[in-house]
Structure 1
Amino acid sequence: MSQTAKKTAALPRLVLGVEDHRKLMTMAAGISGPMADVADKLMSELDRARVVARAKLPDTAVRMGSVVSFTTTDGFNRTFKLVFPGEADISSGKVSVLTPIGAALIGMREGQTIPWTARDGRQLALSVTRVECSQ
């Protein structure tokens, strides 16, 4: 199996609600400049997600406004609320979907793990341990 096939096979199945998917696609498509790489990563995640009606979205799925607890393979263990860029405030525990962690978390479910590249280029894995939905 090629490295590309192995990497693709390791990606978890994502699920998103129709409204979040539409808003995030529109937002990511309009990003240029320094945030373009993260916007491209977010669009890749959105492209592979299964899109469902809000009523069919599992309670354990990360959506906009979710409070998500996760760990990474380097020992990072945090809980953040996933928000749109204008609401982000890391000191208040609100992380933007337009960050590497935010783009990795959207659409994941409790118990899933995804390969993740930290801002410094390290290749890690990110595992969702808990999801609380505020909606």
Structure 2
Amino acid sequence: MQHATGLRPSSRILISNTDHDRLTGLARALLDRAPETAEELLSEMDRAVVTDAAAMPAGVVRMGSTVTVRGEGRNTQRIVLVYPGEADIAENRISVLTPMGTALIGVSIGQAVCWNGRGGRKLSVTVEAVDIPAGGGR
């Protein structure tokens, strides 16, 4: 089982009402096909502080954000957080339904996120920068 929130249950996340509605619907639609993934995303949506999309502060990861993360080996990577149909690992477009994507949604610059990778290996990154998409998100 891959859990993002099991490793960071007390950290606060902030989600726009638009992202919250769409991600909750996506997770509910997946409950029959991918229950663990759906439950993980629903868990994140349940603990999120929801705000109006226009009031989202800069520096918070939202859908479509380009996020610079620093891994344990001090290496940095830039990824774009996207919906599943837009994901492309070759272009660093990471689906929100991946353990890393679910862990990143709603966190702010400076926060570290952890999740279980393949074989139960614990992985983590720290958010160093967030560039919001044109128009402030979807």
TM-score by length of 2: 0.83
Mean Cα displacement is larger for which, 60-69 or 125-134? 125-134
Aligned-residue sequence identity (percent) comes to 38
Q: Which amino acid is the alignment partner of residue 83 of structure 2?
A: F
RMSD of aligned alpha carbons: 2.0
Contact 1:68 1:80 in 2 (8 A): yes
Tell me the SS of whatever aligns to 1:55: helix
Partner of 2:12: 13
TM-score by length of 1: 0.85
Give 5+ residue unaligned stretches, structure 1: 1-6
Contact 1:88 1:96 in 2 (8 A): yes
User: How far apart in 1 are the matches of 2:130 and 2:43?
Assistant: 22
Q: Give the direction of change, closer, same or farther, for the CA distance of 1:74–1:117 in structure 2 (3 Å limit).
A: farther
Partner of 2:66: 67
Matches within 5 A, 1:80-119: 80-119=79-118
After TM superposition, give the deviation of residue 74 of structure 1 in Å. 5.5
Partner of 2:27: 28
Give 5+ residue unaligned stretches, structure 2: 1-6
Partner of 2:78: 79
After TM superposition, give the deviation of residue 105 of structure 1 in Å. 0.3
Contact 1:63 1:106 in 2 (8 A): yes
Mean Cα displacement is larger for which, 114-123 or 61-70? 114-123
Count residues with an aligned counterpart: 128
Moved over 4 A (4+): none
After TM superposition, give the deviation of residue 80 of structure 1 in Å. 0.6
